[in-house]
Amino acid sequence: MTSTVEETPPAVVPDEVTPGRRRRVAPRVWLPLLVLLLFALLPYSTVVVPGAFEGPLNSPGTLQLLAICLVFGGLAAGYDLLFGRTGMLSFGHALYFAAGVYGTDVLVTRAGLPLWQATLFTLVGGTVLAALLGAVALRTVGIAFAMVTLAFAQVAALGVARDFGGLTGGEEGLPLDVSGLPAPLVGVANTVNLYWLALAYLVLVVLLVHRISGSPTGRVLAGLRDDERRIGVLGLDPYRFKLVAFTVSGALAVAGGVVYCLLVGGASPHVTSSELTLSLLVMVVLGGPGTRWGPVLGGMLYMYLDHRLTAFGSSEAVRSLPGVLRGPLSQPLFVLGTVFVLAVYFFPGGLAALAGRLGPLRNLRPRRSDR
């Protein structure tokens, strides 16, 4: 009898574990789809969120702000393919975003091309530019690589500011000629279409980055991030894989520049500044580098705070505060920097690590006794 009891496998444990596993897996599968559906249906909502937005959710101003947040969420996810998933720190990523913005604007406004041709030429030209500059910059590693990418970006910024060839408009920027655009993308009443375009861009970037990360190429990129020498020992060429990541990341930034140009109605020199690349780095670190949704959340939150804190700093509530508080709170960069420092200190893994940190707290809830 004793041996029979000992050899009988416990049948209760799998029955208890399996439903729990199903409950944990299901939200991970359906939650992104529900969030996507929520964002897609947002333009039909007339809900007013006091303090968060200036008007209802379907107002043109709110939709444009949300569309910009979506674009930079995709831009941060594309940059994370380079930084968080491959381990390459580039200080010149704004160059490719600016190539998308100025390429679209110049081809539509100066050359008079229709939007679809301007978009096609901009995407192809920006991707080739990323491949060529990456082929040169990747001959170096570490800080030297970061400085080379920064040098390329600074040359482009100088050319834009000096209005090279009379194409960029110099420091005044270049307004987009809307007469050559399709009617559904022109006018305040069609802001919703631009919002859906920004959402489509974000979905495309997320799907592509996740596809690459889950492929054999993505596993090689993760190996390069952890130990590049080990990849070389396995007989693989690290240079080629890094060039693929650099080129794809640059192409995604170019596509984001095209959408951004349509959103803001033109190009301005600030998109060529190195501050934009540093902002992308902050977005990725704030959200969580190398994670599935962290860079997207970080990019959207950063751009939302960047826009809303500017309005908050000039509000009557801040102007009525004592000078000691009014000075710092009226500077959006100071508030953003404070938020970033606190987030890094208390949540070193970024926003993506919040679920893991809150898990032990959920386990502390009192459980009902089994009877």
Residue extents of the structural domains in the chain: 38-48+55-274
Please report the pLDDT score of residue 331 as a whole number: 75
Whole-Å CA distances, 124 to 184, 282, 310: 25, 28, 36
Higher pLDDT among residues 323 and 26, named by residue: 323
Residue 6 has pLDDT above 80, yes or no: no
Lowest mean pLDDT of 141-145, 162-166, 206-210, 346-350, name the range: 346-350
Q: Closest Cα to residue 205, out of 352, 77, 356?
A: 77
| Range 149-176 average pLDDT | 91
For 253-277, the pLDDT digits (tens) are: 999 999 999 999 999 999 998 889 8
For 102-138, the pLDDT digits (tens) are: 999 999 999 999 999 999 999 999 999 999 999 999 9
Query: Given pLDDT bands bounded at 50, 70 and 90, which one contains residue 3?
Result: very low
Q: Closest Cα to residue 289, out of 66, 33, 30, 89?
A: 89
For 81-91, the pLDDT digits (tens) are: 999 999 999 99
Q: Is 87 left (phi over 0), alpha (psi -120 to 50) or beta?
A: left
Query: What is d(CA 307, CA 292) in angstroms, rounded to the nearest whole number?
Result: 25
Token pair 């990456």: residue:
134
Please report the pLDDT score of residue 1 as a whole number: 43
For 30-60, the pLDDT digits (tens) are: 888 899 999 999 999 889 888 788 889 999 9
Residue 349 has pLDDT above 90, yes or no: no
CA distance from start to end of the chain: 29
**What percent of the chain is modeled with pLDDT above 70?**
85
